[in-house]
Amino acid sequence: MNEIQRARVILKILDKTYPKITVPLKSRNVFTLLISVLLSAQCTDINVNNVTKNIYPKYYQPQHFIKLGRKKIEILIKKIGIFRIKAKSIYNLSRILVEKHKGKVPKTFEELENLPGVGHKTASVVMSQGFGYPAFPVDTHIHRLAQRWGLTIGKNVVQTEEDLKRLFPIKNWNKLHLQIIYYGREYCKARDCFGISCKICTTCYPNRIKPIKINKA
């Protein structure tokens, strides 16, 4: 089975397993989605949602976070990992949005990635989930799964993203990256399957008996 055939098999299994998919991070608008994705770095979606459920009812525009100031933002998100760094990014990007973008989240990768604390993966999530633009956000988890499933030999998330975009139809990207995340959490866990026990791994590699080593992003 070559990589194109594996991609077709994987897409079929994921569509059957997750015919309907929901965005794991809760948000009120595109701005709060951006904040939630920023907060999710080195933190679980559940933890982010538990924190933001007490923030977004009252604070959901960049002007609100500018008025709060960095120290108060730190207090609001102190249960999140590296909260001081994230609070600084939230405050600074809020100022930039108001000063340069009329308080709106920009709709291009370049403008998003110029915001403090926003990398390519975060920008991809916002473009995909916030604006419906075809994107394929790749984090370390998707990078790991793509290697287990024989979809890439990339040594970093940049190469993995290029390979996944090449193998899967553009119409599937926005849904597919979430399906992969959910499948990885439920069936092909980092410290469980190891490429030899879940349905996708055993279907794509029925003769594989040794755990597969992966290139860390």
Instruction: Give the active site residues.
Output: 121, 139
If one counts every other C-beta atom within 10 angstroms of the C-beta of residue 23, the result is: 14
Q: Residue type at 37?
A: V
* Cβ atoms 132, 174 nearer than 8 A: yes
**What are the DSSP E strand ranges found in the chain?**
none
Which tokens in the block code for residue 193?
Answer: 């399957």
Q: Residue type at 130?
A: G
Alpha-carbon gap, residue 165 to 143, rounded angstroms = 13
Alpha-carbon gap, residue 128 to 136, rounded angstroms = 8
Segments in 18-61 forming alpha helices (H): 30-39, 45-52
